[in-house]
Chain A
Amino acid sequence: MGMKKEGLKLFENGKRIDGRAYDELRPIKMEVGVLKRADGSCYLEWGGNKVLAAVYGPRECLPRHTQDPLKARINYRYNMAPFSTDERVRPGPSRRSIEISKLSKEALEHVIFTEYFPKTSIDIFVEILQADAGTRCAGLTAASLALADAGIPMKSLITACAAGKIDGKVVLDLGKLEDNFGEADLPIAYMPRTKELVYLQMDGDLTKDEFKEALRLALKGCDEIYRIQRDALKKAYEGEVNGR
């Protein structure tokens, strides 16, 4: 965010650098149940992002002193593969990934019925295999589907998407160049059922009106992604429901 590159036009003649309109998402693909050992899993492609999410649990929470007698403990690990970006990512948690993991965990903790599974842990692992801007949203969207695939009871699915500002124009779903050289980024996640936000971050430089517009666009993006999420679940479970 905020870097400068002379002569780089991110928004020209109503089109963005990758040819998208201001309110257009990158292509998104999702599939659940892709990992054999995990209780629930999801593979997601979003533009150039490739993300794998796995859920283990509810299972005994170890070490024992971390158990909560009243509810399940949610663990969320957002991890970037070392080869996922141009410059190699040093393995292990970074300050950035610790923050993303914390906020994503809190977003999911809001929708999971944790009180149904006291003393257990529900462990969510998100691996970013290939990164192309918007990985926290891609990870959270995939994690939510993996939880559904694992049969964890939830109040709602969570759908995440970002909006931002490039060359003074508010746009949906920033790509890599737009993320590096844009002016603002607003990643959100919400519960499509109640239309309430459970993940919210923003950095950059937005007026109040631009903020409202970005929020509106991000929610519109979320609605589209929610449809793709439901289709992915239907595709995996339709057969089961129909007795096949």
Chain B
Amino acid sequence: MVDENEIVWLVKKDAVADMIKNGKRSDGRKAYEYRPIEIITDYVKRAEGSAYIKLGNTQILVGVKMDVGQPYSDSPNMGTLITNAELVPLASPVFQPGPPNENAIELARVVDRGIRESKMIDFEKLCITEGEEVWNVLIDIHVLDFDGNLIDAATLAAVKALWTAKMPRYEDGKVIYEDKKDSLPVSKKPVACTFARFGNVSILDPSLEEEKSMDGKITITTTDDGKICAVQKSGITKISVPELENLIDVALEKGNEIRKTYLG
């Protein structure tokens, strides 16, 4: 599938990169500034939890569903978490129907890692009978409009959806979806910050135009207690240790801002 804009991205690539290396961005943002964010929770009433997010022109809908199943043999007293991402064809001319490709898999796994490793979900509280029945939490990321930085938007929406989700009742071996009351056993609020790399320059929250011109990107997920719970480098870029340490400082600071404003 060809994006007719592809040639335009290619022509603009060097100009966009040059601008960023000179400290400017085409939409006028500062290096470490997010695009406007809008979140609507409980967007899908049938889901246990859901959040629609608009980050600039990127739009994502995240749904949380729950069901009851067997635990894994190495953690018989813990509920489970599965995160899946769909890059549905309506979101971009280059997205195709079919099983998730490596980009969709990476997106799902980075979001999953941020949520799982932050330990925001108390999986032991999701155990119904040890070794037999536990709650499964299923997070589905549905990308609706792709304008860059899916990881940060999806993580934010997923965390919001988990915080606002209501658990269905479980009775006599049946999940009663009509009766949802209790909140999920959640505590922390992980926030992912993705930096696009242009040579040795980094910018926060790349738009699609910037993603098309960047060398690669680095995502750092932080938690409320000032800890780092997930990091991922992706694309053909390199980074020195001092630069990485600087990005961690920025991610900790920006993470706190996002938490206060959107997850407060």
| Chain A complexes with chain B | yes
Residue interface mask A53-92, B partner, CB < 8 A = 1: 0000000000000000000000000000000000000000
Please report whether the interface of chain A is mostly helix, strand, loop or mixed according to DSSP.
Answer: mixed
Most B CB within 10 A of own CB, among A3, A103, A200 = A200
Does A201 contact B231, Cβ atoms closer than 8 Å?
yes
Does B102 contact A99, Cβ atoms closer than 8 Å?
yes
Specify which chain B residues have a CB less than 8 angstroms from the CB of A212 in the assembled complex: 245
Identify the A interface with B (CB < 8 A): 1-3, 95-96, 98-99, 101-103, 106, 109-110, 186, 191, 194-208, 211-212, 215, 219
Q: How far is the CB of A190 from chain B (nearest CB, A)?
A: 8
Identify the B interface with A (CB < 8 A): 74-75, 102, 105-106, 108-109, 113, 116-119, 216, 218, 223, 226-241, 244-245, 248-249, 252
Specify which chain A residues have a CB less than 8 angstroms from the CB of B229 in the assembled complex: 203-206
Does A191 contact B238, Cβ atoms closer than 8 Å?
yes
Specify which chain B residues have a CB less than 8 angstroms from the CB of A201 in the assembled complex: 231-233
Q: How far is the CB of A138 from chain B (nearest CB, A)?
A: 19
29 example contacts (A-B, Cβ-Cβ < 8 A) are as follows A98-B102, A99-B109, A101-B102, A102-B102, A102-B234, A106-B236, A110-B238, A186-B231, A191-B238, A196-B240, A197-B239, A197-B241, A197-B244, A200-B233, A200-B244, A201-B231, A201-B232, A202-B232, A203-B113, A204-B229, A205-B117, A205-B118, A205-B227, A206-B227, A207-B226, A207-B227, A208-B252, A215-B245, A219-B241
Given contacts A102-B106, A103-B233, A202-B230, contact A2 B240 (CB under 8 A): no
Q: How far is the CB of B234 from chain A (nearest CB, A)?
A: 7
Given contacts A195-B241, A197-B241, contact A211 B236 (CB under 8 A): no
Specify which chain A residues have a CB less than 8 angstroms from the CB of B238 in the assembled complex: 110, 191, 194, 196-198
Specify which chain A residues have a CB less than 8 angstroms from the CB of B232 in the assembled complex: 103, 200-202
Q: How far is the CB of B242 from chain A (nearest CB, A)?
A: 10
Specify which chain B residues have a CB less than 8 angstroms from the CB of A204 in the assembled complex: 117, 229
